């Protein structure tokens, strides 16, 4: 089917995701369950097909004719023989996760082995009351998955149209303060991150910190290298991946200094024309002993 081309970069990102799926979930090949917002051509689902027995695919549909985008998604699923394994959830991802059902009452059928959240407007999107339904929905996801004792891979893709109301700065300042309490002077590095010209440099720290904090009550969070790339129509995109391992160990919900150092030092990839290169944004690594 024509339209919505999967760019070479995005294809590379999905390839990396598949490596992670194989690494963590090969044992249950054929029985995996997916939740997410797939590409319109379902390219990733088609590529991963042999690993999965279930796909819960979210399609919001834009504007008054949103039902046509949903129709086209089913059409693609029918053409590629995926429809029997596919549940279409109609509506906004955040709403669906928060309410546990879509606009038409179709329930989210937990648990999932792979959750792929694809956000436009960034992870920091907030409603008119300044509340982040996005964050609430992710917490809901963790709770539901933890209830069923499910380890899972979490992919978060987002463009850089963040509606940041100072939150990233606040979080980085918090990290700085926390480290200072432990006698670690990260001030210079944090300042460099804050003043860096690329938004990606800040999100590289902010997003893992956020996910770690949200998941900490139920999960041990392993980070993988985020990927920064250009998507459709040259949109700047970020892609994060996490392996969330269920733990019963009580946690305050706040990352330890060692976690914070890991997050600040987390290596990243930049992907151009499908080629991955290490990206440190010119920011030096933070060592434990200043």
Partner 1 sequence: MAKSTFQPDEIVLQKEEYSYGFIIEVLTSGLYPNKYHVLREYIQNSYDAIKTWRKQTGNPKYGKIQIKIANPSITIYDDGVGMDWEKINQYRYVGYSEKKTGEGVGFRGIGKLSGISVADKLIITTSPAGVGKRYQLVFNADAMLAHIMLLKLKGENISLNDLIKTHTSLSQFEEDPDIHYTMVELYNIKSDSMLLMDEAQVIDYLGMTVPVDFDPNFQYGQIIDEWLRKYVSDYDTVQISLDGKSIYKPYIPELNYPQKNFVYAYDDDDTQASNSGAGEPLAFYWYCEHATKGQFLDKKKRGMFYRVKNFTVGTNQLPRISLWNTTPERAYYFWGEIHICDPEMIPSSDRENFEQNNARERFYQYGAQISKTLNTLAGGSSAKRKAKEFIERAEELILTIQNEAQEGKIPTEIKFSKMYNIKNAVVSVENRLKDAPKDYQERGEKIIESGNALIENLEKESFPSDASKLVYDIREEINLGGEASKVYEIIIQCIDEELRDNPNLFERLIKKIHTALSGHSQFRKSI
**Where along the sequence are the contacts to partner 1 (CB under 8 A)?**
1-4, 67-68, 71-72, 74-75, 78-79, 83-85, 87-88, 90, 104-106
Paired tokens of 103: 């606009």
The CB-of-63 to partner 1 minimum distance in angstroms stands at 14
Of 107 and 148, CB closest to partner 1: 107
For residue 282, give every residue at least 6 positions away whose Cβ sits within 8 Å of its Cβ, in sequence order, or none: 196
Burial code of 257-274, b = ≥16 C-beta within 10 A, e = fewer? bebbbbbbebebbbbeee
Cβ-based nearer residue to partner 1, 53 or 139? 53
Q: Are 94 and 130 in contact (CB under 8 A)?
A: no
Dmax (CA) of the chain: 60
Minimum distance of partner 1 from residue 120's CB (angstroms): 18
- Shortest reach from residue 28's CB to partner 1, in Å: 20
Residue 30: DSSP 8-state? T
- Contact indicator for 34, 55 with CB cutoff of 8 Å: yes
Using alpha carbons, select from 131, 130, 153 the residue that is nearest to residue 141: 153
Question: Which of 1, 143 has the CB closer to partner 1?
Answer: 1
Please give the backbone phi and psi of residue 5, each rounded to the nearest 5 degrees, phi first.
-65, 135
Nearest of 156, 129, 134, 130 to residue 228 by alpha carbon:
156
Which residues partner with 176 through β-bridges? none
Q: How far is the CB of 11 from partner 1 (least distance, A)?
A: 18
Find the shortest distance in angstroms from Cβ 141 to partner 1: 22
First to last CA, the chain: 56
**Toward partner 1, which CB reaches closer, 77 or 244?**
77
Q: How far is the CB of 27 from partner 1 (least distance, A)?
A: 24
How far is residue 246's CA from residue 254's CA, in Å, rounded to a whole number? 17
Which residue, 2 or 289, has its beta carbon nearer to partner 1?
Answer: 2
User: 91 vs 208, which CB is nearer to partner 1?
Assistant: 91
Instruction: Pick between residue 70 and residue 176 the one whose CB is nearest to partner 1.
Output: 70
Tell the smallest beta-carbon distance from residue 73 to partner 1 (Å): 11
């Amino acid at each position: 089917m024509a339209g919505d081309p999967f760019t070479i970069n995005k294809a590379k990102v999905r390839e990396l995701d598949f490596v992670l799926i194989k690494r963590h979930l090969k044992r249950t090949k054929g029985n995996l369950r997916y939740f997410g917002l797939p590409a319109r051509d379902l390219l990733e689902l088609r590529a991963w097909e042999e690993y999965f027995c279930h796909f819960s695919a979210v399609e919001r549909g834009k504007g008054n004719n949103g039902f046509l985008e949903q129709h086209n998604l089913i059409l693609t699923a029918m053409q590629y023989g995926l429809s029997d394994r596919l549940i279409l959830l109609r509506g906004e991802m955040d709403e669906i996760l928060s309410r546990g059902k879509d606009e038409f009452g179709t329930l989210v059928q937990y648990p999932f082995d792979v959750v792929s959240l694809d956000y436009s407007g960034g992870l920091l999107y907030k409603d008119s009351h300044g509340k982040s339904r996005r964050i609430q929905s992710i917490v809901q996801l963790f709770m539901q998955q933890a209830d069923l004792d499910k380890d899972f891979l979490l992919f978060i893709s987002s463009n850089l149209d963040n509606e940041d109301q100072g939150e990233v700065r606040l979080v980085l300042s918090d990290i700085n303060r926390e480290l200072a309490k432990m006698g670690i002077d990260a001030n210079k590095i944090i300042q460099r991150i804050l003043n860096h010209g690329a938004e990606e440099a800040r999100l590289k720290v902010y997003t893992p910190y956020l996910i770690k904090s949200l998941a900490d009550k139920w999960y041990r969070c392993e980070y993988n290298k985020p990927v920064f790339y250009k998507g459709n129509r040259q949109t700047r995109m970020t892609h994060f991946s996490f392996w969330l391992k269920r733990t019963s160990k009580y946690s305050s919900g706040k990352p330890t200094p060692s976690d914070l150092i890991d997050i600040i030092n987390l290596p990243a990839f930049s992907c151009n024309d499908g080629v991955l290169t290490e990206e440190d944004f010119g920011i030096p690594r933070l060592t434990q002993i200043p």
